[in-house]
Chains A and B, each alone.
Chain A
């Protein structure tokens, strides 16, 4: 286990290194002047020149990259126009947002976490529950309803579902406030009520997928020999399903869920845009629009971190569930 973790962490670091090199090359290595984009207005030639200087754009690319990495690990000094000293993990300074990128991220990251984690819990419980029930009640009205739900969910788009929910709950029934983000520890009720529509729209779409997936997995598992063995022993159906079938059926679902959550944490652009909440996803899109290189770099890196971590977590979960998988 320890050996597995060490090895996986090393692989993870290597992966992240590769991602950082590639994106750095892509964003900073292109023969295009990144500065003009960062300072669109009120920038005279002299100021542009200073910015170029302070961004280190005159240095060789390798040195620029080394500086960037040094900033992440131990922090570094940016020029006075970039707010001076920048502590680790320093991800550079955004002229567009007029703040250190790390500050932007510490602001928007909790927003995305607040959207994704409760939504993921919802969609897993709803989706897996629905899938299991419809597999066990195969062919009944309930099963048909669940299939209908899955098809609907799979064919709808988030902005549509979001808009409908907004229209009904916020503007017509006035049950929920206009969506927005309040930090959890400031006011939990406001936190939840501001995000609840986002949770349910995400959960609706994802649980449709998960219902279908877990229904198929459960049906497949129910036809397995070991389920028949469990019944032949005289085990009650409830226990056959709960103890024997569910555990096997859920394994692939866990894997996919881990990866889905990982990539959702990298930003839920459409959700954030639909509900007007500034999370990681919108920050990334805004940065791309504004050509805000340091912010783009940082969001790419952080998404990569989420995905790499999700992969490790999935591997560990898998090995916990399935003894045939050895963590070596």
Chain B
């Protein structure tokens, strides 16, 4: 999780250049992804035209409130949505291969081998009836059918050792409930990395853990990334975590991308009022210690019935300054004057910069 370099960010500069699946582009390139669920209450547009890219060795942070479509995006990349009730369109290009429309059997062969996932709650994500080691060895043998039981066991023990679990050979034979929360998440990471995937998606990997353990897990991920040179997508609510580890940041709201750029750009010079809101609702190391934490007023929107125009306008303090456009027109994600920094907002660029410097000066996360 190296220092941000704006020039090599995976951010698409415009739609055209991202459609070609060139092998020189980022390892994962998602273009205009749309995921819809047909439910009894209506069509849920959980992801509505999201684009991003991640290169190997780099980390993309996806942030947004609950229900903004972060997990749905990552499950779409893994092809884990129920095909019958889900409509997916757009492009997901992994190492030059198009995943949207790929058959279940073909995408299954990639899962766990080229791309792997870590989930939020390691206790419920591990099978309670099988030993931790057996579950890791199983993940290995799926993609190494020729491997013997002993080889798989050895590999699993090595991985447990690699993620910092003491006495890995003994731990191999224990059940998930015999592990502590942090150890369990380490085991999940061992399982995800057992086949050296080039892309790792971590969906809130530290939310269920306490703060000291969180930091250890993030350090571990950073070490492993340096070692295996994998691309990482880190999904989180925690902007502090993003500031710590992400190279690029994608901010989602109501299933759409509202801001995208390098971590430096999005966290230090945010341009979207929603990002300002997110940032002022987390404590910062830079701002005055007595600065009030301001939660964003209102609630996240319903994805079945998004507000017309800019989905954020009912909660936006500056909607009135757009001359009615915020209720009538969906803002497009457009480049700002910084290369690679994109924002979807009707406010004139000059206004955004002025408002940010005037009203939200204390906002910002150490990056």
Which residues does A use to contact B, with CB under 8 Å? 139, 224-226, 228-237, 244, 247-248, 321-324
8 A-B residue pairs with Cβ-Cβ distance under 8 Å, sorted by A, are A225-B121, A229-B127, A229-B188, A233-B111, A233-B139, A233-B142, A234-B142, A248-B127
A231 to B116, CA, bound (A): 10
Determine whether the beta carbon of B129 is less than 8 Å from that of A248: yes
Main secondary structure of the interface of A (DSSP, over half): helix
Please name all residues of chain A whose beta carbon is closer than 8 Å to the beta carbon of B117 when the two chains form the complex.
232
A236 to B138, CA, bound (A): 12
Determine whether the beta carbon of B127 is less than 8 Å from that of A322: no
Determine whether the beta carbon of B124 is less than 8 Å from that of A234: no
Check A226/B175 contact, CB under 8 A, given A232-B111, A234-B111, A236-B108: no
Determine whether the beta carbon of A233 is less than 8 Å from that of B80: no
Task: Give the residue among B78, B116, B121, B129 with the most A Cβ atoms within 10 A.
Answer: B129
**B31 → A minimal CB distance (Å):** 23
Please name all residues of chain B whose beta carbon is closer than 8 Å to the beta carbon of A248 when the two chains form the complex.
127-129
5 new A-B contacts at CB < 8 Å, known A229-B119, A234-B113 = A229-B125, A232-B116, A234-B111, A323-B177, A324-B128
Task: Give the residue among A228, A230, A232, A321 with the most B Cβ atoms within 10 A.
Answer: A232
Residues 111-146 (chain B) with a chain A CB within 8 angstroms: 111-113, 116-117, 119, 121, 124-129, 138-139, 142-143
CB-based nearest A residue for B120? A225
User: Is B110 an interface residue when CB atoms closer than 8 A count as contact?
Assistant: yes
Task: Give the residue among A139, A234, A244, A248 with the most B Cβ atoms within 10 A.
Answer: A234
**A195 → B minimal CB distance (Å):** 36
Determine whether the beta carbon of B108 is less than 8 Å from that of A229: no
User: Is B191 an interface residue when CB atoms closer than 8 A count as contact?
Assistant: yes
Determine whether the beta carbon of B112 is less than 8 Å from that of A233: yes
User: What 5 pairs between A and B have smallest CB-CB spacing?
Assistant: A234-B112, A234-B111, A225-B124, A233-B112, A233-B139
Please name all residues of chain B whose beta carbon is closer than 8 Å to the beta carbon of A321 when the two chains form the complex.
129
User: Is B109 an interface residue when CB atoms closer than 8 A count as contact?
Assistant: yes
Which residues does B use to contact A, with CB under 8 Å? 78, 80, 84, 104, 108-113, 116-117, 119, 121, 124-129, 138-139, 142-143, 175, 177, 188, 191
A236 to B142, CA, bound (A): 9
Determine whether the beta carbon of A232 is less than 8 Å from that of B128: no
CB-based nearest A residue for B188? A229
A294 to B64, CA, bound (A): 74
Determine whether the beta carbon of B112 is less than 8 Å from that of A232: yes
A162 to B121, CA, bound (A): 50
A323 to B179, CA, bound (A): 13
Please name all residues of chain B whose beta carbon is closer than 8 Å to the beta carbon of A323 when the two chains form the complex.
128-129, 175, 177
Q: Which of the residues A139, A226, A231, A237 comes within 8 Å of B126, measured between beta carbons?
A: A226
Please name all residues of chain B whose beta carbon is closer than 8 Å to the beta carbon of A230 when the two chains form the complex.
127
**B328 → A minimal CB distance (Å):** 39
Please name all residues of chain B whose beta carbon is closer than 8 Å to the beta carbon of A234 when the two chains form the complex.
108-113, 139, 142-143
A234 to B197, CA, bound (A): 12
Determine whether the beta carbon of A233 is less than 8 Å from that of B138: yes
CB-based nearest A residue for B85? A139
Determine whether the beta carbon of A233 is less than 8 Å from that of B191: yes
Determine whether the beta carbon of B127 is less than 8 Å from that of A226: yes
CB-based nearest A residue for B128? A324
A235 to B188, CA, bound (A): 16
Check A235/B175 contact, CB under 8 A, given A229-B119, A247-B129, A322-B129: no
Q: Which of the residues A224, A235, A247 comes within 8 Å of B138, measured between beta carbons?
A: A235
CB-based nearest B residue for A245? B127
Please name all residues of chain A whose beta carbon is closer than 8 Å to the beta carbon of B142 when the two chains form the complex.
233-235
Determine whether the beta carbon of B139 is less than 8 Å from that of A228: no
Please name all residues of chain A whose beta carbon is closer than 8 Å to the beta carbon of B111 when the two chains form the complex.
231-234
Please name all residues of chain A whose beta carbon is closer than 8 Å to the beta carbon of B104 when the two chains form the complex.
237
**A134 → B minimal CB distance (Å):** 15
CB-based nearest B residue for A324? B177
**A258 → B minimal CB distance (Å):** 18
Please name all residues of chain A whose beta carbon is closer than 8 Å to the beta carbon of B126 when the two chains form the complex.
226, 229
A233 to B116, CA, bound (A): 7
**B33 → A minimal CB distance (Å):** 18
A321 to B108, CA, bound (A): 28
Q: Which of the residues A139, A232, A237 comes within 8 Å of B78, measured between beta carbons?
A: A232
Please name all residues of chain A whose beta carbon is closer than 8 Å to the beta carbon of B129 when the two chains form the complex.
247-248, 321-323
A248 to B128, CA, bound (A): 8
Determine whether the beta carbon of A226 is less than 8 Å from that of B125: yes
Determine whether the beta carbon of B128 is less than 8 Å from that of A225: no
**A186 → B minimal CB distance (Å):** 43
CB-based nearest B residue for A247? B129
A231 to B121, CA, bound (A): 16
A224 to B127, CA, bound (A): 9
Please name all residues of chain A whose beta carbon is closer than 8 Å to the beta carbon of B78 when the two chains form the complex.
232
Determine whether the beta carbon of B128 is less than 8 Å from that of A322: yes
Q: Which of the residues B112, B128, B143, B177 comes within 8 Å of A226, measured between beta carbons?
A: B128
**B225 → A minimal CB distance (Å):** 19
A213 to B175, CA, bound (A): 27
**A233 → B minimal CB distance (Å):** 4
A231 to B107, CA, bound (A): 11
